[in-house]
Copies of this chain bind each other. A is one copy, B any other.
Amino acid sequence: MRPSVPLALIAALLLPAPALADALVENVDGMTLTAKGELQRFNGIVIDENGKVVKLLKRGDKRPERPDWKEDLKGRTVIPGMVDAHGHVMNLGFRALALDLSATRSLAEAQDAIRRYAAENSTRRWLTGGGWNQEVWSLGRFPTAAELDAATGEVPTWLVRADGHAGWANSAAMKAAGITAATKSPAGGRIEMIAGKPGGVFVDAAMALIEKALPQPTPRDRNSAFIKAQDILLSMGVTASADMGTSLDDWMTFRRMGDLGILRMRIMSYSDGVETALRVGGSGPTPWLYDDKLRMGGIKLYTDGALGSRGAWLKAAYADAPGNSGLPFLTDAQLLNMIVRGAMDEFQFAIHAIGDRANQQVLDAIDEVSDTYKGDRRWRIEHAQIVDPADLPRFGKHGIIASMQPVHQTSDRTMAEARLGPQRLAGAYAWKSMLANGATLVFGSDYPVESPNPFEGWAAGFTRQDGQGQPFGGWRPEEAVSREQAWRAFTIDAAYAGFGEKKFGHLAPGMRADFIVVDRDPMLASPSELRGTVVLETWVGGQRVFRRSAKGGAGR
Contacts and interface: CB of A to CB of B under 8 A. Distances in A.
B256 A255 contact: no
Contact of A223 (B220, B256, B259, B282): B282
A283 interface: yes
A220, A222, A249, A259 — most chain B CB neighbours (10 Å): A259
Contacts of A218: 278
Interface in A215-264: 218-220, 222-223, 248-249, 252-253, 255-256, 259-260
Nearest to A8: B284
A177 interface: no
A153 interface: no
A462 to B, nearest CB: 40
A256 B289 CA distance: 11
B260 A280 contact: no
A279 interface: yes
Contact of A280 (B252, B278, B281, B282): B252
Contacts of A278: 218-219
Interface residues of A, number: 25
Contact of A253 (B248, B282, B289): B282
Identical copies in the complex: 2
A437 interface: no
Nearest to A261: B287
A98 interface: no
A45 B280 CA distance: 39
Contacts of A283: 6-7, 219-220, 223
A106 interface: no
A505 B248 CA distance: 34
Nearest to A219: B282
Contact of A286 (B6, B256, B282): B256
A280 B252 CA distance: 6
B255 A281 contact: no
A220, A249, A282 — most chain B CB neighbours (10 Å): A282
A134 B535 CA distance: 77
Contact of A256 (B7, B249, B256, B281): B281
Contacts of A279: 219, 249, 252
Contacts of A252: 279-280, 282
A259 B255 CA distance: 11
Contacts of A6: 283
Nearest to A255: B255
Given A248-B248, A256-B281, 19 more contacts: A6-B283, A7-B282, A7-B283, A218-B278, A219-B278, A219-B279, A219-B282, A219-B283, A220-B282, A222-B282, A223-B283, A249-B279, A252-B280, A252-B282, A255-B255, A256-B280, A256-B282, A256-B286, A259-B287
Sorted from nearest, which 9 A-B pairs have the closest CB atoms? A219-B282, A256-B282, A219-B278, A220-B283, A223-B282, A259-B287, A7-B283, A252-B279, A259-B286
Interface of A: 6-7, 218-220, 222-223, 248-249, 252-253, 255-256, 259-260, 278-284, 286-287, 289
6 contacts: A7-B284, A220-B283, A252-B280, A255-B255, A256-B281, A259-B286
